[in-house]
Chains A and B, each alone.
Chain A
Amino acid sequence: MPTATRRRAGVRRAVRRAGAPLLLLLPSLILVGVFVYGLIVANTRQSTTDNHTAAQATGQAPTTGVGLRNYLDLLGSEEFQHSLTNLVLYTVVFLVGTMVIGFAWAWLLDKPLRGEGIFRSVYLFPMAVSFIASGVVWRWLLNSNQGEQASGLNRLFQMIGLDALQNNWWNNVSVGIVAIAIPAIWQLSGYVMALFLAGFRGIPVELREAARVDGASEWKLYRHVLFPQLSPIALSALIIIGHMSLKAFDLIMSISKPANYQTKVPAVDMYVFKSAFDYANAAAVGTILLVIVAVVIVPYLVHTHRQGRR
């Protein structure tokens, strides 16, 4: 058989082999291709225009390209820097809080215990509730009134003699965002617990027994046997929780107000820009968020992808 024909036959075979699976995947591939990748491109393009007014947003006035000026203006503005600082502060407190509490709960529940299921269910149930619904309650709890007028947690602090703990929660200009992280920690610590608990349960009993037989102390058992086994889970938890910190949007919309300077984060800015028909800046904020997420997620996906093949 001449090489050309053979090659063509090979291509045909490859097409036939790949054809059916591709056909089944096609609807999803098109949807993801358009709605994820296509729109990321479209969004980035809009972020480099001067589309700042309602007339332009509705196509009644022309837009022109301005390069990276929107990004430079945003990153140079004190307002947006405050949003970025808030996002970092929120993410750090949220991550540390959920990881520490989640791990502590898993550790406390790891050894056999009567009623374990009840503890687990109570710790995990906030996860099933929307941020909007829990925000209703937390807005009441995080009421900033103090003294005579105090309500919510501030009143509770008075009642148990911890008056000094009273504070104005999310109304604090510099660290108010930390107050928004409290309900987020309340909602997702149980999730981290579940991950770690599954991790603890996945470690073969023999491994622990062997270490004990070798005379390892409890601390050494954790340090050298359990922690290394748990580290992939800790990484997963960090990625998922860190990524969920973008959900701060729901809580802020529910607890404070979108226009609130104290608690604004980029996701809220994006909403405010969109509401004001400033599509270019809304798009720019979106792309900045995407870059922040991609810097963390892409190496993680590549890393796990390699592991999966090994």
Chain B
Amino acid sequence: MTSVVEAEAGRPVDLGRTAPRSRFTVGRTLRYVVLLLFVLVVLVPVYVLLVTSFKGPGDAAPTRAWNLPQVWTTANWETAWSTLAPAIARTVQMVVPAALISAFLGSLNGFVLSRWRFPGADLVFTLILFGMFIPYQAVMIPLNQLVLGLGVPSGVPSLILLHVVYGIPITTLIFRNYYMTVPQELIEAARVDGAGMLRTYAWIVLPISVPSFVVVLIWQFTSAWNDFLFAVFFSSSQNGPVTLALNNLANGALLQDYGVSMAGALFASLPTLLVYVLLGRYFMGGLMSGSVKG
């Protein structure tokens, strides 16, 4: 039996259903109550983050931990922004090329693996896929030496390389599953017309891949933006991305200053949260593909 989400692989996913008939029942009311309770629980950290980030030094007493600020101040926000802004800029420089290059590679691989059945194609695919699951700790020591040996500078260049390389499995998977659903006749027609593989790819396949590209770009953008493991091994506070800078801010000299680190946490999360809110269907598409092996 194939997984039911398989058909949606690599496409935007809409989990919505047709508008419900509204009718009052005890069961439905109970369901709302439980769902709302869960909403409250899930939003507790959001409340803490917002409230704490607006608090001044006068609110430090533990008895006021859950209270609203006595005086609302944006001082924390200004400090957090001036501390994190350079790292946020570096993260943008790192994430954009990383996402674009790995999406392109994934699309090429996905196309080849879904259409051209050369001997061993399935084995090659499985071997690539395994790269998605390895704990990166298992390659970290020689990886460090290799990147150093190749002369790739620490910070943004190293991180671009790593996110591209280790993004290959997931991007290949998403595109392969998407191209599997493209009607074979479309490709065959191009072949009959004498188009080679590259021409078929450029003229037929690429134009219909836009939704998958959005899914993959968002996926790679989010995971590279939120990455900490590679950041901590391949960059420093001077040249690292925002996760590293935020962690230094939260655990550094301003140890007790939760207000600043909470404001910083929001700055660090805003880009991915915006993507989630604005492009939720595509975000879901990436999430779903992660679960699909075919």
Interface residues of A, Cβ cutoff 8 Å to B: 14, 17-18, 20-22, 24-25, 27-29, 31-32, 34-37, 39-40, 42-43, 46, 105, 108-109, 111-114, 116-117, 119-141, 145, 148-152, 155-156, 159, 186, 191, 194-195, 197-199, 201-203, 229, 232-233, 236-237, 240, 243, 246, 249-250, 253-254, 257, 266-267, 270-271, 274, 279, 282-283, 285-287, 289-290, 293, 297-298, 300-302, 304-305, 307-309
Contact = CB atoms under 8 A, between A and B. Distances in A.
A122 B265 contact: no
Contact of A43 (B128, B130, B139, B243): B139
Interface stretch (B69-77, B181-189, B209-217, B228-236): B228-236
29 contacts: A18-B116, A20-B198, A32-B165, A42-B139, A108-B31, A114-B19, A120-B15, A122-B43, A125-B273, A126-B42, A128-B272, A132-B226, A133-B265, A133-B266, A134-B265, A137-B48, A186-B45, A194-B287, A195-B291, A232-B2, A232-B3, A249-B229, A253-B228, A266-B137, A271-B233, A285-B137, A290-B134, A298-B130, A308-B294
B62 to A, nearest CB: 4
Contacts of A289: 135, 137-138
Contacts of A267: 135, 137
A286 to B, nearest CB: 4
Nearest to B5: A198
Chain B's interface: helix, strand, loop or mixed, by majority? Answer: helix
Contacts of B124: 25, 29
Contacts of B7: 202
B39 A35 contact: no
Contacts of B294: 304, 307-308
B169 interface: yes
A290 B135 contact: yes
Interface of B: 1-5, 7-8, 13, 15-22, 28, 31-32, 34-35, 38-39, 42-45, 48-49, 52, 62-63, 65-66, 105, 108-109, 111-113, 116, 118-119, 121-122, 124, 126-131, 133-135, 137-144, 146, 164-166, 168-169, 172, 196-198, 222, 225-229, 232-233, 243, 246-247, 250-251, 258, 261-262, 264-266, 268-269, 272-273, 275-277, 280, 283-284, 287-288, 290-294
B137 A132 contact: no
A122 B39 CA distance: 7
Given A121-B280, A128-B275, A133-B246, A305 B108 contact: no
B197 A24 contact: yes
Chain A's interface: helix, strand, loop or mixed, by majority? Answer: helix
Contacts of A156: 66
Contacts of A120: 15
Contacts of B121: 21
B246 A282 contact: no
